[in-house]
Amino acid sequence: MAQRLATNYASAYFTMSEQELTQFVKLFANEKIDVKEKVYDNGDRDITIDDHSGEIQLTFHRKGNRYSCESSYVIKDLTLANAMRKAMKAFKGHGIVHRIYESFTVVYHYDEGSVIRIEEVTEDSEVPIYEGTHIGQTSKELERLYMSTGSEEEIKMIREETDRLLDLRNWAKKVTPERISAIDQQLSGLSTRLFLLEA
């Protein structure tokens, strides 16, 4: 079996609540990975993770009651690489991840924490391994919102989801512009539901 040399997060994006950010930090601590947190006056947070071969710094910018982090980094420690994979899934991360081996690289594309595409890349070829039929989390989120008992609570949740999608749209503009129309459709659905609730 080929030995992985490094995991390169060419692009990684997270958006989460304060409670989720606390759980994010705990995930690494629970894996016995050294993690430090620094909180700034404006509410931004730096999460520093020790990779044995150096430190990875993730800056979470606060906007209202949400935090977002856009970054890129290389991980050489396998334990940390596995913990970061768990974090991508648990906190619905978006990104492009290169698992680097001696003679090839396997590229994973993440959307809402799920792997939607995998390719094997060598010096002279790019072979698709997996192409998922990913259904956006927003449809599930909307279904959950519709089951909600209180309109005020549903309105609050729709606004939070809208903020999350707008942050994601800004990130996608630079990294995956082909996703903009799908995000716009999700925003349109939320906008329609919000209009009905506030009528």
| Residues of the domain holding 78 | 6-131
- 48-102: pLDDT as tens digits: 998 777 889 999 999 988 999 999 999 998 889 989 999 999 999 999 999 998 8
Specify whether 90 is located in the same domain as 175. Answer: no
Q: Are residues 18 and 99 in the same domain?
A: yes
The 10 Å Cβ neighbour count of residue 106 is: 17
Longest CA pairwise span in the chain (Å): 60
Say if CB 103 and CB 122 are below 8 A apart.
Answer: yes
Same domain, 146 and 124: no
- Clarify whether residues 114 and 180 are in a common domain: no
Angle between helices 137-146 and 180-198 (to 10 degrees): 10
- Tell me, what CATH number does 31's domain have? 3.30.160.110
Whether residues 54 and 142 fall in one domain: no
Q: Would 141 be classed as within a structural domain?
A: yes
Q: Is the pLDDT of residue 10 over 80?
A: yes
The residue among 69 and 1 whose pLDDT is bigger is 69
What angle, rounded to 10 degrees, do the helices at 137-146 and 151-175 form? 170
Specify whether 86 is located in the same domain as 151: no
Same domain, 91 and 144: no
When mean pLDDT is compared across 19-33, 75-89, 121-135, the lowest value belongs to 121-135
Which of these three, 76, 103, 131, is where a domain ends? Answer: 131
User: Which DSSP category does 43 fall into?
Assistant: S
Q: Which of helix, strand or coil describes residue 166?
A: helix
pLDDT at res. 173: 87
Tokens of 166: 């707008």
What the block records as the tokens of 7 is 């995991």
Output the pTM of the full model: 0.71
- How high is the pLDDT of residue 135? 47
User: Model confidence at 195, in pLDDT bands (50, 70, 90)?
Assistant: low
Considering the domain architecture, whether residues 99 and 152 belong to the same structural domain is answered as: no
For residue 1, is it within any domain? Answer: no
Lowest mean pLDDT among 10-24, 84-98, 151-165, 172-186: 151-165
Residues recorded for the chain: 199
Distance CA 40, CA 59 (A): 11
- What pLDDT does 145 receive? 52
- pLDDT value for 199: 41
pLDDT of residue 98: 94
Clarify whether residues 53 and 78 are in a common domain: yes
Q: Are 84 and 93 in contact (CB under 8 A)?
A: no
Q: What is the mean pLDDT of residues 31-60?
A: 92
Q: Per-residue pLDDT averaged across 132-146, rounded?
A: 54
